[in-house]
Structure 1
Amino acid sequence: MVEAQDRGDANVEVSPRDIIYTQPAEPAEGEKPEILHKLDLRFRSVSWCDDSLALVNETWYKTSQTRTWLVCPGSKDVAPRVLFDRVFENVYSDPGSPMMTRTSTGTNVIAKIKKENDEQIYILLNGRGFTPEGNIPFLDLFDINTGSKERIWESNREKYFETAVALVFGQGEEDINLNQLKILTSKESKTEITQYHILSWPLKKSSQITNFPHPYPTLASLQKEMIKYQRKDGVPLTATLYLPPGYDQSKDGPLPCLFWAYPEDYKSKDAAGQVRGSPNEFSGMTPTSSLIFLARRFAVLAGPSIPIIGEGDKLPNDRFVEQLVSSAEAAVEEVVRRGVADPSRIAVGGHSYGAFMTAHLLAHAPHLFCCGIARSGSYNKTLTPFGFQTEFRTLWEATNVYIEMSPITHANKIKKPILIIHGEVDDKVGLFPMQAERFFDALKGHGALSRLVLLPFEHHVYAARENVMHVIWETDRWLQKYCLSNTSDGKCGA
């Protein structure tokens, strides 16, 4: 169990901030919990191994600091020590997470690895492998006593994106010999669907164990590229550009384009400019994925970087609109420069915080987009007066920020068509359906061309087949009318 010494209030200065306690599953009468560890940051998680090893993670969002402690649950004489202390925004420094093994009782614990003729105990760190060229997943053999690492495997850099999924050998064993190690991996490429393999040591021989068919063969030959460009303040940005199968720029020219994004907050420009994702990942699609519209011969700019940076004493939200518009301008300019997107037919869309982004961009950057799709967004930040997203100040402490960041206060500036979709029973804090209803009322009051769609019995993430299909139909109809043909006639409707 964990007890917050600040009563959950991050503004209270206290040390320790959190205390972790342990107690037997069946405590003796009068037996009280014992302190395992005290933390000055906020407790995040604990990974158990045995009486000699557990890894405790703590983080503090305001400073982006994260620490991993090694503790010995069975020995009070061994002092906890820090294994990793870093800024979690700096993904290039991510050491990875310990691989787990299943015990004979069905619980998951940290796997211990042993080498031949070596009494040292190692663990396997499974890393996502963030690099300037994209993610290159890896496995490191980590000596918990010395902190030294040995890279024993990493994904192919040229064509494939392969990740370690789980240990498939040694379950129930106390220790696992490195030379008998077997790992379940998932392997994919731009055009090849994810298949599972068994990777066996010591030769690291890979054997494919699945043969899944392509889930959408009509889009099997889609074109995918991770593109890099720069914001006007010098921050490097990335996005994934998708083009429909058979697209030939010399013959087909610029296409209508769907810009689908989600902003992220950072404390430094260096962290904001780091590459996340791999150019070799398979183009998987969720039921409401923006990639569906490749079948409609749209170009899709998926996940363009929208970093909102607050360095030093400055907070990201103090310059939210300025940085949002600057990031969007850089992305749009890049796809137009490449000749793949028609500047008069670029639509913007997003879900949740992406919907919030969409409303702002239509208000503050109408020159970039012809229409928008906003799904399950928040449009009036004063309805969450004690904080929102990464804003820790209250409405009364930062009134101007709350007003400026509420799209409803800029409804009079929105002149481009906007489709608003929301789950009728969305119970996520700050995203109740009233957010969409009041925003739509404000748009309608100012004569904006808008449409409100409430999905019956639906929460924040759409699940019912009927609702998912209706979302696709509504979005397709909106794009066909206001992006493909780029007309803005019509009236508001719900």
Structure 2
Amino acid sequence: MTAQAAPASPATGYSQPPKNVLDVMNAPSPAQPLANPARDHLLLVTMQDYPSIARVATPFLKLAGVRIEPKNHSRHDTRSGYGITPCVRSLDLVTVADGSLRHLALPPQACPGVPQWSADGQRFAFENIAEDSVELWVGEVKTGALRRIPGVRLNPMFDNALQWMPDQKRLLVKRVPETLGKAPAQPAVPPGPRIQQSDGKSGQSSTYETRDTLTGPYDEQLFDYYGQSQLALVDVASGKVANIGKPALYTDLDTAPDGQHLLVSKLRRPYSYLVTYERFPHDVEVWQLSAKAPVIHAIASLPLAERVPVHGEPLGPRDFAWRQNEAATLVWAEALDGGDWQVKVPARDKVMMLRAPFKSAPLEILRTEQRFAGFSWGERPETALLTEFDQNRHWTRGFLVNVDDAKQPQRLLWDLSTDEKYANPGHPVARRLANGAIVLRQQGEEIFLAGAGASPAGDRPFLDSLNLKTLQKQRLFRSDATRYEQFIGFVGAGSEHLLTWSQSPVEPPNAFLRTLGARSEAAAGEAVFSSERKAVTHQADPTPEVRAIQKRLVKYKRADGVDLSFTLYTPPGYKEGTRVPTILYAYPLDYADAGAAGQVSGSQATFTRLRNYRLLLLAGYAIIDNAAFPVIGDPKRAYDNYMEQLVGDAKAAVDEAVRLGVTDPDRVGVTGHSHGALMTANLIAHSSLFRAGVATSGSYNKTLTPFGFQSERRSVWEAPEVYQKVSPFFYADKIKTPLLIVHGEDDANPGTTPLQGVKLFEAIRGNGGTTRLVMLPHEPHWYASLESNEQLIYEMISWFDKYVKNAAAR
């Protein structure tokens, strides 16, 4: 019953898929646009798709939710912790007016981060991960030159390692202290036992707060050592560096619009072995910058927060932010319900405000019926958009408010489900002031809203104007139905000219300059202005062979009448009416109501790119892609009938693909990642729809995440039967359909620890099932390296070829 090893390269030990697949994998992805605030220049940023396994295998330390490479003090993981810090592969600077392009020469062996534009749009800055440090680099629009600021070693451990000051001449940075010295040596003998204790008080911690937690006193020493930063101001023109304050464990930094005050959050002991650093005790201060030393105003001293309700908030002040249309005014929220969504109260949060010089008591400016989700500040002081959300109902509301006049009533702008796609109003369009402050773009009484534009025919991005006096909307732009065109931003002071990012299934994405013309009659939802456009960028198609792949939106119903949809891809050379082997991919989502669950999302008008499982198209498979797999019910009891809905979703999708004449019903496979891997294993265990499955980085025994998962908020002790029913581990004796299990050996997601894959494999194998386990060395939750991704596609093609494409008749 032992799994057989796959053929591998003698040089690396990794296997590769066929050459036609490799060619597509190795082709660079199209660049993404990064427009400056003035929208007169943009950077085309091309990311590295797959770093080498050598980079992914670089040694790192796991310290309270972050992964640090000790050799250069760089951040090994992404902010979410699910991947590897990405590198920019190339940068091109484009002038919007004439489309001229300059290729920028990145430093040799560089791993640059995504640049940050200055508010005046004349410069940009970025981190560069070098061999022995994280460097600070600056680019100039006028010359196209890139240069390193010497003597600055950045510390990105807690993010926010660099930001522009309001004068746009200086950068605020976190430096590795020059006096740091050597890292603490690991003791040869343990200093003592690792001890944790509970005081008898109840309180849950979300599973997702326990990623790579500290394990003992030595970890605490390392955390202190690598977390320390020295704040400094860097003059971009001269390169002069001026330190501010003393080294500490600084996390969040935010400069006030006046450029004279700095919001600082810094960690302090005692640390926790249960949660990540975001829950550690921390002090919130406002520093008044001066020539000698900052004057410090204490705002809050927040304790360790180990017992925060799942989906809840910690007690005390939180979500500190500067009011963007005043010089130095601080705003924050405080929970009135103990941070617990289950508590019924008239108002969940109160919102506080405190103006410079920060010596008076804070003023309560309003209360929110549901959880406070932030302000979007208007250019004028009397204008602000307030957003709140209801975790219980999956609901959100937006209000127009005047925080300086409590007597002025709030005006409701939107009131809808967070699952609602078709009626989603979009997000407010912002603009950056000369001091870097971000405010709503206002033109007279109008603001602007841009959104995805979901519709029964797929997404059609839009731009609307909203009159704040009449609350009437006008549609200024909507993507054509044959392409996918997104609003990037306005060009110039008015609203006549705008930048868009446009693509179609056969046209790679490119930037266009649009000029909105005279009004015209339009159908409901269509743009009320005619529009002309001019190409600004000219990216070529990196994989012409992929254009032979066809895709279409397919809509159908579940047996209980719920509307569903998927995108159907057919392989190159497919002849209509021919039945071919098919792979279904999905990721189940939770919904509070059936109406929202049935709404179409995504677009068939995007430029077709092949990554991960979609590469199976080049091996002759059709793909039922992103099939809608809703789990519908009261969020408080979302998973009571999970399995029945899961099987119903799968059967409806497969039946429809068969009805269309594309799918051979006797040759269907299923795959999914993370929560989709749980789906895959459950469908293999509880249905006979599929001949084989591939589950990647899944969670298969939910009793190992006892305080909730996805939208399930009950603990395993409150709903043990639910946890067992959704866990394929407990049905391993029923899994006779072949199942390939793939997992990254360094998965930092607490819900999908590598042990989950190992134990499911052992359970299926022990019960006589057909299974294979592939553990990818050094890989996180999302596989990063080229070698690992080649291995994954090799495994998927081999597995599905054997058990689906070439399977014997049932």
1:184 — aligned with what? Answer: 499
Report Cα offsets for 1:5-45 as digits up to 9, x if no partner.
23332212223212233344xx4253344334322212333
1:165 — aligned with what? Answer: 488
**Equivalents in 1 of 2:433, 2:354: separation in Å?**
20
Report Cα offsets for 1:438-463 as digits up to 9, x if no partner.
22221122122112222222221222
Residue 275 (1) aligns with residue 597 (2): no
Do the aligned partners of 2:453 and 2:460 also contact (CA within 8 Å) in 1? yes
Residue 222 (1) aligns with residue 549 (2): yes
2:534 — aligned with what? Answer: 207
| Pairwise CA distance, 1:305 | 1.0
Do the aligned partners of 1:68 and 1:85 also contact (CA within 8 Å) in 2? yes
Alignment of 1:459-474 (within 5 A): 459-474=780-795
Do the aligned partners of 2:591 and 2:632 also contact (CA within 8 Å) in 1? yes
| Pairwise CA distance, 1:55 | 1.6
**What residue identity is the alignment partner of 1:7?**
G
Give the alignment partner of residue 375 of structure 2, picking from 30, 37, 46.
46
| Pairwise CA distance, 1:70 | 1.9
- Would the alpha carbon gap of residues 235 and 72 (structure 1) be closer, same or farther in structure 2, given more than 3 Å must change? same
Do the aligned partners of 1:362 and 1:414 also contact (CA within 8 Å) in 2? yes
Where do 5+ consecutive residues of structure 2 fail to align?
1-331, 519-530
| Pairwise CA distance, 1:426 | 1.6
Do the aligned partners of 2:586 and 2:626 also contact (CA within 8 Å) in 1? yes
**What residue identity is the alignment partner of 1:282?**
F
| Pairwise CA distance, 1:147 | 1.1
**Equivalents in 2 of 1:110, 1:432: separation in Å?**
42
**What residue identity is the alignment partner of 1:57?**
T
**Equivalents in 2 of 1:161, 1:152: separation in Å?**
16
Residue range with higher mean Cα deviation, 322-331 or 101-110: 101-110
2:458 — aligned with what? Answer: 134
| Pairwise CA distance, 1:314 | 8.1
- Would the alpha carbon gap of residues 465 and 112 (structure 1) be closer, same or farther in structure 2, given more than 3 Å must change? same
Alignment of 1:91-490 (within 5 A): 91-114=421-444, 121-157=445-481, 159-170=482-493, 177-178=494-495, 181-202=496-517, 204-249=531-576, 253-286=578-611, 288=612, 290-310=613-633, 315-365=637-687, 367-486=688-807
- Would the alpha carbon gap of residues 35 and 437 (structure 1) be closer, same or farther in structure 2, given more than 3 Å must change? farther
Residue 6 (1) aligns with residue 337 (2): yes
**Equivalents in 2 of 1:185, 1:330: separation in Å?**
37
**Equivalents in 1 of 2:361, 2:667: separation in Å?**
66
**Equivalents in 2 of 1:386, 1:376: separation in Å?**
20
- Would the alpha carbon gap of residues 22 and 376 (structure 1) be closer, same or farther in structure 2, given more than 3 Å must change? farther
**Equivalents in 2 of 1:31, 1:226: separation in Å?**
59
| Pairwise CA distance, 1:302 | 0.3
| Pairwise CA distance, 1:205 | 2.0
**What residue identity is the alignment partner of 2:447?**
I
| Pairwise CA distance, 1:355 | 0.5
**Equivalents in 2 of 1:246, 1:45: separation in Å?**
51
**What residue identity is the alignment partner of 2:338?**
R
- Would the alpha carbon gap of residues 23 and 228 (structure 1) be closer, same or farther in structure 2, given more than 3 Å must change? same
Do the aligned partners of 1:197 and 1:208 also contact (CA within 8 Å) in 2? yes
Do the aligned partners of 1:100 and 1:167 also contact (CA within 8 Å) in 2? no
Report Cα offsets for 1:139-159 as digits up to 9, x if no partner.
1110112211111221112x1
Q: How large is the RMSD of aligned CA atoms in angstroms?
A: 2.0
| Pairwise CA distance, 1:345 | 1.5
| Pairwise CA distance, 1:66 | 0.6
3-state SS, counterpart of residue 434 of structure 2: coil
**What residue identity is the alignment partner of 1:86?**
L
Do the aligned partners of 2:500 and 2:514 also contact (CA within 8 Å) in 1? yes
| Pairwise CA distance, 1:334 | 1.2
- Would the alpha carbon gap of residues 23 and 481 (structure 1) be closer, same or farther in structure 2, given more than 3 Å must change? farther
**Equivalents in 2 of 1:431, 1:5: separation in Å?**
34
% same residue: 38
3-state SS, counterpart of residue 193 of structure 1: strand
**What residue identity is the alignment partner of 2:357?**
A
**Equivalents in 2 of 1:314, 1:12: separation in Å?**
13
1:117 — aligned with what? Answer: none
| Pairwise CA distance, 1:76 | 4.4
Report Cα offsets for 1:324-380 as digits up to 9, x if no partner.
101111111111122211222211001111101001100011x21111111111111
Where do 5+ consecutive residues of structure 1 fail to align?
115-120, 171-176, 489-494
- Larger Rg over CA atoms: 2
**Equivalents in 2 of 1:108, 1:482: separation in Å?**
55
Residue range with higher mean Cα deviation, 350-359 or 139-148: 139-148
Do the aligned partners of 1:190 and 1:281 also contact (CA within 8 Å) in 2? yes
Report Cα offsets for 1:183-219 as digits up to 9, x if no partner.
2111122222222111123353211111111132111
Do the aligned partners of 1:99 and 1:167 also contact (CA within 8 Å) in 2? no
RCO comparison, higher one (Cα < 8 Å, 6+)? 2
Residue range with higher mean Cα deviation, 73-82 or 350-359: 73-82
Q: Of Structure 1 and Structure 2, which has the larger fraction of its residues in helix?
A: 1
**Equivalents in 1 of 2:382, 2:668: separation in Å?**
58
